[in-house]
Structure 1
Amino acid sequence: MPTLIDRIKRYASGPQGRRMRAKAERYARDPRTQAKVRQLLARLRGGGHRRH
């Protein structure tokens, strides 16, 4: 029985996995997405607004 990692590797190397990877790379290059990630990291690090 293939392990979860083996199944992920097989999916990633197939055509659908390559398409998903390309889509993720485009999404990661988008300045709006980068801004959202920076905001999230700032909140997680305690740099965002806190509710009391």
Structure 2
Amino acid sequence: MPVVDRIMRYVRGPQGRKMRAKADRYARDPRTQAKVRGLLARLRGGGGRRKY
């Protein structure tokens, strides 16, 4: 699986570490957490139809 190896090399490199730190900061942001909670609530809420 050379694709997985390339991804792992990127993640372990300096750019990958920088991107991971950015993702961690983004995940800790309360606004982002609220967006995710809202999205999950809509997805779990069922398949109701929207009225336009």
TM surpasses 0.5: yes
Report the TM-score when normalising by structure 1: 0.84
Where does structure 1 differ by over 3 angstroms across 4 or more consecutive aligned residues?
Answer: none
Q: May I ask how many residue pairs the two structures share in their alignment?
A: 50
CA deviations 1:4-48 (Å, max 9, x no partner) are 21111000000000000000000000000000000000011116x
**1:31 aligns to 2:30 (yes or no):** yes
Using the aligned pairs only, state the percent identity: 76
> RMSD over aligned Cα, in angstroms?
1.8
Query: Unaligned 5+ residue runs, structure 2?
Result: none
The range that moved more, 15-24 or 38-47, is 38-47
Report the TM-score when normalising by structure 2: 0.84
Query: Unaligned 5+ residue runs, structure 1?
Result: none
User: Which residue of 2 is the match for residue 13 of structure 1?
Assistant: 12
